Structure 1
């Protein structure tokens, strides 16, 4: 009965005849509902901003970010966290996901794993959580025990807590320092929160990780200058970034990148500042990783 009262469990009037619709009619209904997601996310941007400011401070001071969820919510956390190392050259432990049922649940549902708050607390505790860390509990319904248990434990030891749900006055919000309740309305397929709710949550997780990394100096203009050039595509992207920022040709970008062990930041500073690799590294270190400041410092080395 509690579930039946949730917005995410209500029936959508626009899709009451879903089983009688043509393919195109179904697509139009889904598309019209999906258009509502961005508007719903816009209404909670102040709360997302609040969360990001705390996450940024935590990561800047050697803290970690944990996403905690079950089912689709956990999988969204895994997708976002797993993209941070190649995109921003973060360590594997800076942004992590704790998922009900363990890593195997990403591929195969582990029924019942979400129902134990104590297991959520146990699993986040196993990460040696400290008060320097931030924990984001993700649950569309706002009442899933697993992330609630994790948030309750995290808050108890002084870690900053964020809840991400899709219902107003969500139960999980009671355990969060910052509560984000993005209400997208009933799903086209009743209760299937892998649809609009999951889309809203993915948008917000993208905002959290991307904005935090920008603030940490891992972006110059709108280019990923901390990209981990670990395969052909990323090596080509690294060269293009260097060419775009410095104006050099492909060969010079390639040669400079080779001198920096395929690191884009020092390559840019070397070219723009007219310094050696060692001087570029020194400038980046003294500028706390911010390329714009490092370039200015490198230029001053030569004045």
Structure 2
């Protein structure tokens, strides 16, 4: 493992030549500088597209078999993982245990600095044991500089238990090597504020996690076209979104879409299946279950059975 006292050579710790006069430029120039540098975060994600695609496929396969997806990190990296995990239930109607974020220091570290805890590999190992990780699970270790002992300990423990391991870092392999099933490197370069990896590195990480979790949910049939048909209707905003999805895909009036949504038990996916097949709620539920919740496959199966 990298000597924790000698990290200055890491890409994420180097000084950005474009921002040497950061404390002397105008506010507008600060915004322009950040905007210019942030373009590198998008490019870094594009350069890792093959690895991200592999991570999506591995994760979707394990989740279909009953596995879970875990993000683990410390500091900003941990917070980003927790945020992405927390957004899956309202967006895709997933159970809270399906995608979980683990941060060094626990929930308290989300709102106060606990970065000192990242140096304890044994805590990462303990987090994996506590959640009873198995060979069906996927564990994504997030560490901008690539050297975080907490993340290394967690991933090594997860690999010993047979889980798929994904390493996500913002330094090149030659600077920090790590043995994982998927190795994702988001090379954003030196930060505008030297060493502050909540900036470009954090942005690239957020983009990558968005792609990973959304891509997995697409593969799991949580999306129809580009609509979030598994959205959980838990407030007025989400009910409005559900009604708009139904109206867009069926040409129903808002009133009729509301009736259909109520009949389905506030489940857009089931409402669509009921509308397109004429099945009642119980029959639609059964057909969806037979196709692991994939509405497109369920409709194709229904049409194949009932074709004249």
* TM-score, with length taken from structure 2: 0.95
State the partner residue of 1:130. Answer: 134
CA deviation map 1:114-161 (0-9, x unaligned): 110011111121001111101000000000111110001001111110
State the partner residue of 1:31. Answer: 35
1:220 aligns with 2:219: no
Deviation at 1:283, TM superposition (A): 2.0
C-alpha change, 1:170 and 1:228, in structure 2 (3 Å) is farther
State the partner residue of 1:6. Answer: 10
C-alpha change, 1:95 and 1:83, in structure 2 (3 Å) is same
Moved over 4 A (4+): 170-173, 299-303
State the partner residue of 2:200. Answer: 196
State the partner residue of 2:276. Answer: 272
Deviation at 1:301, TM superposition (A): 4.7
Long gaps (5+) in structure 2: none
State the partner residue of 1:184. Answer: 188
1:110 aligns with 2:119: no
Long gaps (5+) in structure 1: none
**More deviation, 172-181/48-57:** 172-181
State the partner residue of 1:282. Answer: 286
Aligned residues: 303
Secondary structure at 1:3's aligned position in 2? coil
Deviation at 1:171, TM superposition (A): 7.1
Q: Distance in 1 between matches of 2:136 and 2:290?
A: 24
State the partner residue of 2:98. Answer: 94
Q: Distance in 2 between matches of 1:292 and 1:96?
A: 27
Secondary structure at 1:192's aligned position in 2? coil
The answer (yes or no) to whether the contact 2:75–2:115 under 8 Å persists in 1 is: no
The answer (yes or no) to whether the contact 2:74–2:115 under 8 Å persists in 1 is: no
Q: How does 1:32-111 map to 2 (within 5 A)?
A: 32-111=36-115
Q: Distance in 2 between matches of 1:287 and 1:247?
A: 25
Q: Distance in 2 between matches of 1:274 and 1:152?
A: 51
CA deviation map 1:11-67 (0-9, x unaligned): 001100001111011111111000111111111110111111110111110000100
Deviation at 1:294, TM superposition (A): 1.8
Secondary structure at 1:5's aligned position in 2? coil
1:162 aligns with 2:179: no
Deviation at 1:170, TM superposition (A): 6.6
* TM-score, with length taken from structure 1: 0.97
C-alpha change, 1:67 and 1:171, in structure 2 (3 Å) is farther
Q: Distance in 2 between matches of 1:238 and 1:74?
A: 31
Deviation at 1:298, TM superposition (A): 3.7
Secondary structure at 1:184's aligned position in 2? coil
